[in-house]
Amino acid sequence: MDYEENDELPQGEQVGEYSPGRLLDTLAAKLNARNDAALARAIEVAPAIVSKIRHGRLPVGASILLRMHEASGIGIRELRDLMGDRRGRHRMSPTEFRPRQAQPSPQAHQARQSEGPANEG
């Protein structure tokens, strides 16, 4: 479903404005869900999750987007457009997903200290 500028918008909303409610309403219509509880069942999440998303207390994360996509067949890009997410890419921090440098554990350090100098002879 393409969201056109001439489609009716809820009071005070503009196309391009972040609106998870618009996403949930479109998804509910596509899935014939009469209310948020039915929508939650359709996308297999707790009703509280849908409520928190609708009221802006929880961002729509990747796992929720995937559930919405699988239940409705609407593409991820279109789901993101419906809620007003216009970012081309999600950026990760430079340190994210990099292996940690090996550092000796405190136990290994203590064990080396307790061994003391090796006995000669």
The string of pLDDT tens digits covering residues 49-107 is 999 999 989 999 899 999 999 999 999 999 998 888 766 555 555 555 566 666 666 66
List domains and CATH numbers for the chain: 20-83 (1.10.260)
pTM: 0.59
27 contacts: CB under 8 Å, gap ≥ 6: 33, 39, 43, 68, 71, 72, 74, 79, 82
Tell me the pLDDT tens digit for each residue of 9-18: 444 444 557 8
And the tokens for 46? Answer: 């707790």
Please state, in angstroms and rounded to a whole number, the distance separating the CA atoms of residues 31 and 39: 7
Neighbours of 19 (CB within 10 A): 21
